[in-house]
Chain A
Amino acid sequence: MTASGKVRMTTDPAKVEGPGDLQAGLQTLAGRLAPGGRIKDLRRLTAGATQEVWRFELIEGAAETSLILRRAPGGTRVSETAIGLEVEALLLEAAGAKGVPVPAVRHVLTPDDGLGHGFIMSFVEGETLGGRIVRSEALAPARTFLARQCGEVLARVHTMEPNDFPMLRRLTPAELIAQYHEVYRVSAWPRPVFDLAFRWLHAHCPPAPERMRLVHGDFRNGNLMIGPDGVRAVLDWEIAHVGDPMEDLGWICTNAWRFGMVDLPVGGFGQREDLWAGYEAAGGAPVQRDHAHWWEVYGSMRWGVMCAGMTASFRGADPSVERAVIARRTSENEIDLLRLLAA
């Protein structure tokens, strides 16, 4: 998904489509991943608008390894605004080198593979569904330390070198707000609560940070692979950018990602103080409380504008019931904003 919630696709000339071609292509590739290797049990895990996710088993002699293929839809439809799968693979490798738990990248697809754009990474066992993470009995012990651990992980993300990624967008808080404000304006559907939120966000906008950092951009419950031992992998780097590191600390507290546990602001499993303590203890910059609050308001506005943008997608590229229903989740963010600004 892009910042505007709209998906614009272009198709490049190399035509790669159906699972039959994919199966055959991966079989050929398996020999290069492991001598004499072959694959089995290819199955699709999700059919996202901007990415396909497939799982398969790589057989190397007696050993079987579960692998994940993340691929542009149909192999070739590339979103114009997401960072691109090749960059995402580079980010995973750089994050891993800084001690961020991430899947290991096994292979980045090349034109010779004939499979389109994408990469193959290790499969990490665990739970990503937010609703289960906040309620599962098996994860109850993990929930006692998960907020602090998220802070520690984010501190490591923010040590990644932004200059290694000149292709990423650089955005100050003021520029981010201006961008979403414009998306709201062009939607041409009045939402007085959004106007109230934008007015507040403009008036209280933090200055550009002293040091711009690499920001994950979608670090939240739902994009983390969680096990009883805590965070096993940080996933979905497709909207990473360079900006204020506080953005990541606010986004994981945004009410939309609490999955009903409204009194546990960090992902529905922990308290802000634990997140901040973990972040600072692991070397992150001291957290300014008022800035953290600003980013939480920003988060509800951002997800609200993204949901509202689903109406245009529904009327355009993706007329699915699911898309319509997400558009109708805009009002959840309106009540979240009122609870933050007009309680």
Chain B
Amino acid sequence: MQDQPTPSEVIGAVAQFLKTVVAAETTGATSFQARVAANALEMMRRQLDLAPAEDAKELERLKTLLGADGTLLDLNAELARRIEAGTLDLNTPGLTDHLWDTTLAKLAVDQPTYAAYRATLAKRAPPEPPKET
């Protein structure tokens, strides 16, 4: 067992340092690149935090969709092949939902502020329960 603090915590602290100290105390290209580096670290932190659970769900969906076993990479390659060949398409039960769930999980890591992602989440959010009068 490795010790604490966790990689996610340390990466978060380094990102903060880059943003609040390095980017703030430098100018021009260096300041810009420090900000880019901080954002890259935040992205990796989100991946460490979110990917294990999302990958496990994606693997289960792929096994069901394809009726096959394998690694995440194997099964994604197989899904890609079947879509290219036309043996699976958007009429295949579960495929549309799988592609959406998988893509939203990627955006949650890569670019959670992306406007098209926010708009999609807002559309998919369950409606607010009606207020009691």
User: Footprint of B on A, CB under 8 Å?
Assistant: 47, 190-196, 198-199, 255, 258, 260-262, 321-322, 324-325, 328-332, 334-336, 338-339, 341-342
Contact = CB atoms under 8 A, between A and B. Distances in A.
B56 interface: no
B83 A196 contact: yes
Best-surrounded residue of A47, A261, A329, A335 (most CB of chain B within 10 A): A335
B99 A199 contact: no
A310 to B, nearest CB: 13
Question: Chain B's interface: helix, strand, loop or mixed, by majority?
Answer: helix
Contacts of B117: 332, 335
Contacts of B37: 321
Of all A-B residue pairs in the complex, the 10 with the closest CB atoms, nearest first, are A190-B80, A331-B106, A195-B83, A260-B115, A190-B76, A190-B77, A195-B84, A195-B80, A331-B110, A192-B79
Contact of A322 (B33, B80, B96, B111): B33
Given A261-B115, A331-B110, 16 more contacts: A47-B29, A190-B77, A191-B76, A191-B80, A192-B102, A193-B99, A198-B84, A199-B83, A262-B116, A321-B36, A321-B37, A325-B36, A332-B111, A332-B116, A335-B107, A335-B116
A338 B79 CA distance: 16
B17 interface: no
A331 B116 contact: no
A262 B113 CA distance: 13
Contacts of B115: 258, 260-262
Contact of B90 (A262, A321, A331, A342): A342
A342 B111 contact: no
A199 to B, nearest CB: 6
11 contacts: A192-B79, A196-B83, A196-B89, A199-B89, A260-B115, A321-B33, A325-B40, A328-B110, A330-B110, A332-B117, A342-B100
A22 B33 CA distance: 25
B119 interface: yes
B114 A325 contact: no
B95 to A, nearest CB: 9
Best-surrounded residue of A199, A322, A328 (most CB of chain B within 10 A): A328
B43 interface: yes
A324 B41 CA distance: 11
B11 interface: no
